[in-house]
Structures are given as structure tokens and as C-alpha cells.
Amino acid sequence: MEIRAAVLEEFARPLTVHELDLAEPRAGEVLVRLVACGVCHTDMYTASGADPSGYSPAVLGHEGAGVVEAVGEGVGTVAAGDHVVTLFSPQCRECIHCRDPRTNLCLAIREQQNKGYLPDGTTRLSRGGEPVRHFMGTSTFAEYTVMPEIALARVDREAQLDRACLFACGLSTGLGAAMFTAAVQPGSTCAVFGAGMVGLGAVAGCRLQGAERVICIDLSPQRLELARGQGATDCWSADEHSVERLLDETGGFGADYTFEATGLVSVMREAVEAARMGWGVCTIAGVAGKGETVDIVPRLLITGRRVRGSSFGGLKGRDQVPQLVERHLRGEIDVEPFISHRMGLDDVNRAFELMEAHDGIRSVLMFGGG
């Protein structure tokens, strides 16, 4: 079938929207009609050429939600008509990592996915007979996509897909960092550095876990106001005294849990320094640039602080994304404030421009229907 998609032709150049050929799903694969897709910083990072693992030509996009149109041989967990959220972090439920509660890093298709291919080492996207690669195994800047069954989470049909798509990456990453990676305990004090999509999700996750005090630190008054709406009890304008202030307000000890959601190594260090002596846990959710390192004074670790990394919030996507969507439907997670702009596929480059200008939290591409 012919579809319209946004293609990364050359790094550091605008994406090009035009028609591609999309082959039918093979064994273990699913054809999805996309309804909505969030535009994430990872898409822009790859398009810029800064990502050393990037490749082209490729159809970008990974924060998608849509409707199953057809399934390949052997697919049994989704069927035509099901509403699904795409997962750049799959869950095969069979590999050693999927069977272990300590990680969500599925190993089943990792090698081919990182190269831009589906599990059999080929693509379903092409142009004039030449293959076009699949970004993060998803390629959701498109009207339709073909994906592995193990990279789709079936969600309640009552969920509006322009909201559900945010659970495909940024929102789940933040929520999960607090709920699953750090496992925030009721009555605790938390500090979230950064109030973008991931940081706001972490704020909401701390609230859902019953934290008594949630401090959010950011440069933007508008984002801090959004953080208050997600459950932040304290909203501070970031400056060079943020760690000192946090220590002063916690009796010199620091917060029980800290979260870094900026991708800046200087802020990662601050998040470690702000964690409580004795048992503080610092969770790093931001993605730093290639070759960057975090400078941590060893005494901070010797005196009881722990540092954890969190990929996709530690979620096992097929099992836990639907649970988060259910909590959204019950009114526990307010998604609408995160959506700053809704636009069509042809405006994808404008979405990148808005992101660079720090205009809003999330732009969502709408493909029509639902």
C-alpha cells in the first residue's frame, strides 16, 4: 500500500513528507493505522545528526497510538480493531530480561531494531524498490506502520488516542521513573530536576506513590505551573543555589528521592548531591550527549546515596502501559495539559521548531480518524 510519511533523508535537514510503499505484515507483525503521534526530543536529536547511531533514509517517530488494521501469521495478542500504543521498548515476555522483574530491557529484537530493521533483518518501507529503515522499530511519523507484535500495547478503546500516544515514551518514562525504578514510598520527600515531559511525569508519579512533598525545579515559570497541576507541592526557579536550598529545607540531609530529567550532566550531579544522606536514591532519566560524563564525589556514595538509571521508566510495556492508561481513564493522570499543539503530518518540522524554542511540552501529530 502507499502511505504518506515524514522521511529523514539527510541529517541536519528538514524532514520530507512524501509517499512510500508499505508492505503487508509478515509472521509476528502487525499493520497499524496511526491516529496520533507525539514529537519527542529523541526524534529531533536523531534528525540533527548528533546521534552517532542514527541512520537514513528512515521514517522517524516513536510516540504513536493507533488502530490495528491487519495482523500477520502467528499474531495472537492483538486483532483488527484493537487500539494500541507503540513501544520502542518491546516486551517479548520470553527472554531472560523479560522474565526478570529487575529490568525492562527486552533482548528479543534489540540488534535488528538498533539497525533500523524489523526482526527478520528487512524493512517493510521502501521507495522505488529501495528500502527505507524503521526508526526505533516504530516509524510513527506515518499514516500507517508495520511493527512487531511484541512492540505493541493494547489499550482500552475508551482512551482518546491523541492522549494515549504520550504513554508511548515521555509520560511513561517519567511516571515509571518514580513508580517503578525508584519505587517512591508514601510520605517521602522528592525533588524533580526539570519540568519537561519526563519531569512532569515524574512529578505525577511521585504524587501517585503518596509522596508528602514534591519539589520541582526548572527555569520556566510556565512549566513550573504545570508541575503544580501534576502534584508538585513546591516549585522553585532553578539557579546555582538549588542544591543548597534543598539541603537547608530538609535539615541538611537532602530528599529521599531525586529525579534528573534534563539530560544535562551538570544537573545530574546536582540531583546526586541533593539526594538524602543514608538512603537517598537519585534516578537519572535524562539522556546526555555522546561522550559526556557525570562527576560525582565518591563520599556522596559512601555515605549512603544510590544512583539509578531508568530507561522507559522501567516499564514492561505490554503489561504496564495499559495499566497507566487505565489510571488516566480513572482521572488519576491528567494528560491534556501536556499537549501544547496539535497539527498535521505536514507540520512535523514546525513541531521541531517549537521544541527548539521551548514552546510548550508536547506537539502531537494528528492523522485523522480514531
Report the chain's C-alpha Rg in angstroms.
20
And the C-alpha cell for 287? 539522556
> Contact 34/154 with Cβ under 8 angstroms?
no
197-208 and 221-230 are packed helices; what angle lies between their axes, rounded to 10 degrees? 30
Q: Which of 69, 93, 95, 327 is catalytic?
A: 95
Q: How far apart are CA 368 and CA 33, in angstroms?
A: 10
Of the candidates 106, 190, 206, 235, the residue annotated as catalytic is 106
Question: Is 63 an active-site residue?
Answer: yes
What stretch of H or E contains 67?
Answer: strand 63-71
Q: Which of 29, 63, 260, 273 is catalytic?
A: 63
Residue 169 known to be catalytic: yes
Q: What angle do CA 200, 204, 207 make, to 5 degrees?
A: 140
Three cell numbers at 329? Answer: 481513564
Please say if 40 is a catalytic residue. Answer: yes
Among the listed residues 33, 42, 46, 235, the single catalytic one is 42
The one catalytic residue among 37, 165, 169, 235 = 169
Is 37 a residue of the active site? Answer: no
DSSP characters for 81-120? Answer: T-EEEE-SS---S-STTTT-TT-----SSHHHHHHT--TT
Active site residue 93: no
Question: Which is it for strands 2-8 and 58-59: parallel, antiparallel or unpaired?
Answer: antiparallel
Catalytic status, residue 98:
yes
Q: Which residue in the list 40, 165, 216, 235 is annotated as catalytic?
A: 40
Q: 309: part of which helix (H) or strand (E)?
A: strand 306-309
Catalytic residue selected from 37, 98, 165, 206: 98
DSSP string, 151-220: GEEEE-TTS-HHHHGGGGTHHHHHHHIIIIIS-PPTT-EEEEE--SHHHHHHHHHHHHTT-SEEEEEES-
User: Which one of the listed residues 33, 62, 318, 328 is annotated catalytic?
Assistant: 62
Q: Which of 289, 247, 316, 362 is nearest to 90 (CA)?
A: 316
Q: Report CA torsion sign: 263, 264, 269, 274.
A: negative
How many Å apart are CA 66 and CA 172, to the nearest integer? 17
Active site residue 95: yes
Catalytic position from the list 29, 33, 37, 41: 41
97 is catalytic: no
Joined together, the cell numbers standing for residue 332 give 488519576
What angle separates helix 348-356 from helix 41-48, to the nearest 10 degrees? 100
Residues marked active site are found at: 40-42, 62-63, 92, 95, 98, 106, 110, 169, 362
